[in-house]
Amino acid sequence: MTSFRSAGEMGMPRRNRALLGTVVALAFSLLGGAALAAAGPKSTTLSAEDKVCLECHAKPGLEKTLGNGEKLSLMIGAKGFAQSVHNSSGCEGCHSDIDAATHQKTPKDIATRRAFSLELMETCRDCHKKTVKQYEDSVHSALVRDGSEKAPLCSDCHNPHATQSAKDKPAGNAEPVACQKCHEGVTKAFAESVHGNTGDEALACKDCHQTHSVKAASFGNQMKAQCLSCHKDVATTHAAWLPNTERHLEAISCPACHSPGTTRRVNLTFYEGTTPEKVGVPKFVKLANWTDAKGSGLDARALWTLLQDFNNNGSEGKSVLRGRLEVQTGVQAHQLAQKALALKDCNTCHREGAASFQSVTVSMAGPDGRPLRRDASKGVLTSIESIGSVGGFYAIGSTRIKLLDTLLLMALGAGIFIPLAHLTVKLVSRRARPHGEAAAPEAGRPTPPAAGEGPGDSTDTH
Ligand code: HEC
Ligand code: HEC
Ligand code: HEC
Ligand code: HEC
Ligand code: HEC
Ligand code: HEC
Ligand code: HEC
Ligand code: HEC
Ligand code: HEC
């Protein structure tokens, strides 16, 4: 790309640049080399070819009716294009299939504007390989491949006919409203947060999400690395007052303590070993519908059944459930405030009936990396029946706490163990043991791993 870069983009004042452009364009036309312009420095004068196109296309009112009845304006601003970075490549750079003389007589069928944008997006690849590759790695692109009509294409953020260089803009943002357009609530929350309300110093969305390779964010702890890249000493500073720091930072998302007034939930996620399980998605949907036919939320038994099923098929003993205490909405994730407002009170979580543990969801990574979620009944955290899969209880001092063993591994063996274990669990639960007491190992069956001793616990806890 550097070969395209003009002196102007390297910091020459605008007026000189325009002047240079004119001189260069003049030189080119003297050489009869309009075609050369494609490889030459940036010009703000239109090439002869482009002028031909704009003879018709700069006129207001030219439009075309698309397959869905939508009217597409065919007007392209001549001045905007002349000043854009793409003036150097010309209309031809992206519309090489168009013959100026004939195309208006043989109308091309275009179903929708979106379909047209999607088709033409392919041309960006010719000159912006790296950016296209980053984009294709994003959740947005995955959504598009999945048929989303709403996820952004290149031209939702860049007007191909008027793109200016980001370097020309003071804030360095080609299109500052690029994310806001579709994520309004989050953008507003962010603007008022500790990262967003500091004027020129404020972070931008891309500081945590990237611009083109935006990844799914609301799943597991993947955003934590971003936070730690700037706040390097978090583990040390928190250890000054928070025992078991590592475990807390693993099991609680940063916004869950740093967004004041937030509502929290426990999210249980299926993992295959240490990576979020994806293979089971269709099965998850099917089984979840089946086990939760009433729609009242997955209960402990349903979870048990799901885990059993995952572990029965090939990936024996590898499917685990991990828990995380997190905020309930994307907006809340962006309401981070100064440290004085952060949650420090142990009692907020470590007491019976703590509000944070009253809402439970179960999720699995969807095909685009975003989670598929189902509600679970809050009873799964304390149900004796689910001890083998997600339950676990801790006592600190004299306070009885009922906490999910968020990191407990479910390593179910195949074969005879499963029917036996299931039966035993039923028996155990019928015995109406008081909640909050760990089940003693039953005779005649292998014990489901308890906190800290499961075979996979080491991979999970650290
Ligand atoms: C003589 C006038 C004229 C000229 C010159 C002209 N166009 Fe068009 N163009 C049209 C009309 C009219 C349509 C709408 C055709 C229709 O209704 O299907 C159109 C449609 C288009 C479309 C929409 C897609 C399509 O094929 O329908 C594109 C893109 C386009 N022109 C690009 C160009 C480019 C690039 C050039 C120069 C190489 C150019 N045009 C030159 C009149 C013109
Ligand atoms: C950098 C690539 C690029 C260049 C250069 C370019 N176009 Fe386009 N053009 C597109 C894309 C992409 C679309 C599809 C619409 C969208 O996604 O906004 C489009 C759409 C159009 C349309 C349909 C109306 C519309 O806005 O969707 C016309 C007409 C058109 N271009 C004409 C031109 C003319 C005339 C030129 C030269 C003056 C030109 N284009 C230069 C990429 C380009
Ligand atoms: C024929 C080559 C060509 C094609 C095709 C092309 N571009 Fe460009 N583009 C350029 C050149 C040359 C520049 C200016 C040099 C640079 O900054 O990389 C540029 C710059 C840009 C910039 C601004 C970069 C900056 O400096 O901030 C954006 C955004 C952009 N193009 C988007 C697109 C999109 C979207 C498409 C597809 C619709 C597209 N381009 C297709 C050649 C092309
Ligand atoms: C969600 C909005 C969004 C989408 C979608 C998007 N861009 Fe960008 N792009 C931006 C912003 C904002 C910038 C300004 C620089 C920055 O903030 O990283 C930018 C910068 C660029 C640049 C300048 C160099 C660079 O990589 O920073 C190019 C080239 C570019 N985009 C091309 C594309 C192409 C090609 C596509 C489609 C494959 C695309 N963009 C999709 C928002 C977007
Ligand atoms: C044209 C609309 C559009 C634009 C522009 C856009 N997005 Fe998105 N984005 C979506 C849609 C649709 C989804 C999927 C539904 C959802 O999660 O909101 C999505 C999903 C996401 C996700 C994943 C959400 C999750 O659940 O993990 C993130 C992160 C994201 N966008 C960030 C950004 C950032 C950062 C920008 C600006 C660089 C941006 N988006 C620009 C439409 C857009
Ligand atoms: C300081 C880092 C940071 C910045 C800056 C940031 N985000 Fe986020 N974003 C996060 C975190 C962390 C999450 C996920 C929280 C979780 O679920 O653990 C997230 C989640 C999201 C999601 C998914 C929300 C959902 O519905 O679950 C979207 C969309 C999003 N961000 C968009 C944006 C946009 C747009 C901007 C700019 C206005 C932005 N983010 C700025 C950290 C950031
Ligand atoms: C259990 C709740 C809790 C969790 C989880 C938590 N924090 Fe904190 N954090 C606090 C409290 C309380 C303070 C204020 C401590 C003080 O000043 O006494 C704080 C202070 C901070 C500070 C201020 C400077 C410093 O280091 O003391 C930063 C930055 C910070 N946290 C970032 C993070 C990040 C990043 C994460 C996620 C990896 C995180 N926190 C997770 C409660 C939490
Ligand atoms: C690009 C760097 C960057 C990233 C990424 C980032 N922060 Fe920050 N953060 C800052 C800056 C700069 C400040 C304001 C100066 C300061 O107090 O350290 C700040 C302030 C904070 C504060 C307030 C600290 C105080 O002293 O009151 C908290 C809490 C915080 N960030 C948490 C997070 C969390 C959680 C994430 C991840 C979702 C995150 N940050 C990601 C740069 C970053
Ligand atoms: C935001 C909720 C929250 C806050 C605030 C909180 N904790 Fe925790 N704590 C948890 C969660 C969740 C776990 C992880 C349980 C697990 O891993 O199974 C945990 C684990 C622990 C453990 C480890 C138990 C074990 O068996 O390893 C101790 C000890 C503990 N917390 C003490 C404290 C103390 C002391 C404070 C106050 C300084 C505190 N916690 C603040 C939620 C919280």
Predicted confidence (pLDDT) per residue in 221-264, tens digit: 789 999 999 999 999 999 999 998 988 898 899 999 999 999 99
Residue 269 pLDDT: 83
CB-based contact 160:237 (threshold 8 Å): no
Tell me, using a 6 A CB cutoff, whether residue 125 lines ligand 3.
Answer: no
Residue 291 pLDDT: 73
Q: Which residue has the higher pLDDT, 410 or 42?
A: 42
CB-based contact 343:331 (threshold 8 Å): no
Nearest CA to ligand 7 atom 6: 254
Residue 314 pLDDT: 57
CB-based contact 141:135 (threshold 8 Å): yes
Tell me, using a 6 A CB cutoff, whether residue 163 lines ligand 4.
Answer: no
**pLDDT-based confidence at residue 371 (cuts at 50, 70, 90):** confident
Collapse the DSSP code of 296 into the 3-class scheme (helix H, G, I; strand E, B; otherwise coil) and give the result. Answer: coil
Average pLDDT for the chain = 74
Query: What would the pLDDT profile of 318-340 be if each residue is shown by its tens digit?
Result: 677 778 899 999 999 999 999 99
| Alpha-carbon gap, residue 104 to 84, rounded angstroms | 25
Best probe residue, ligand 3, of 42, 50, 88, 124 (max atoms within 8 Å of C-beta) = 124
Q: Which residues contact 141 (CB under 8 A, 6 or more apart)?
A: 135, 151
Backbone angles phi, psi at 395, to 5 degrees: -125, 125
Residue 42 pLDDT: 56
Rounded alpha-carbon distances, angstroms, from residue 347 to 80, 182, 340: 60, 38, 17
Tell me, using a 6 A CB cutoff, whether residue 248 lines ligand 9.
Answer: yes
Nearest CA to ligand 7 atom 1: 257
- Quick check: 447 pLDDT over 70? no
Nearest CA to ligand 1 atom 2: 56
- Quick check: 409 pLDDT over 80? no
**pLDDT-based confidence at residue 177 (cuts at 50, 70, 90):** low
Q: Is residue 319 exposed (0-12), middle (13-18) or buried (19+ Cβ within 10 Å)?
A: buried
Mean predicted confidence (pLDDT) in 154-180 = 73
Q: Which residue has the higher pLDDT, 314 or 444?
A: 314
Query: What would the pLDDT profile of 138-153 be if each residue is shown by its tens digit?
Result: 999 999 999 999 999 9
Collapse the DSSP code of 391 into the 3-class scheme (helix H, G, I; strand E, B; otherwise coil) and give the result. Answer: coil
CB atoms inside a 10 Å sphere around CB 125: 14
Residue 440 pLDDT: 33
Query: What would the pLDDT profile of 276-322 be if each residue is shown by its tens digit?
Result: 766 567 777 877 777 777 777 888 777 777 777 777 765 545 677 77
Residue 458 pLDDT: 31
Q: Which residue has the higher pLDDT, 235 or 426?
A: 235
Tell me, using a 6 A CB cutoff, whether residue 100 lines ligand 1.
Answer: yes
Residue 410 pLDDT: 29
Tell me, using a 6 A CB cutoff, whether residue 57 lines ligand 1.
Answer: yes
Task: Give the ligand whose atoms come closest to the C-alpha of residue 338.
Answer: 8
Mean predicted confidence (pLDDT) in 434-449 = 34
Q: Which residue has the higher pLDDT, 242 or 12?
A: 242
Place of tokens 């299931």: 422
Residue 278 pLDDT: 65
Looking at residue 438, the DSSP 8-state letter turns out to be: P
Nearest CA to ligand 7 atom 2: 257
Best probe residue, ligand 9, of 238, 247, 380 (max atoms within 8 Å of C-beta) = 247
Mean predicted confidence (pLDDT) in 377-387 = 62
Best probe residue, ligand 3, of 6, 50, 127, 144 (max atoms within 8 Å of C-beta) = 127
Tell me, using a 6 A CB cutoff, whether residue 178 lines ligand 4.
Answer: yes
Mean predicted confidence (pLDDT) in 348-359 = 81
Q: Output the CA 160–ligand 2 centroid distance in Å.
A: 6
Residue 374 pLDDT: 87
Q: Is residue 5 exposed (0-12), middle (13-18) or buried (19+ Cβ within 10 Å)?
A: middle
| CA triple 319-322-325, angle to 5 deg | 165
Query: What would the pLDDT profile of 28-78 be if each residue is shown by its tens digit?
Result: 343 333 333 344 445 789 999 999 999 999 999 999 999 999 999 999 999
Nearest CA to ligand 3 atom 24: 165
CB-based contact 279:272 (threshold 8 Å): yes
Residue 28 pLDDT: 39
- Quick check: 428 pLDDT over 50? no
Residue 339 pLDDT: 97
Q: Output the CA 178–ligand 4 centroid distance in Å.
A: 9
Mean predicted confidence (pLDDT) in 364-375 = 85
Task: Give the ligand whose atoms come closest to the C-alpha of residue 266.
Answer: 9
Percent of the chain at pLDDT > 90 equals: 44
Domain boundaries, the chain: 2-111, 263-329+342-461
Residues with CB under 6 A from ligand 5: 139-140, 143, 148, 150-152, 156-157, 178-179, 181-183, 205, 209, 211, 214, 216-218, 370
- Quick check: 398 pLDDT over 60? no
Indicate the range of 33-42, 155-164, 417-426 predicted with least confidence. Answer: 417-426
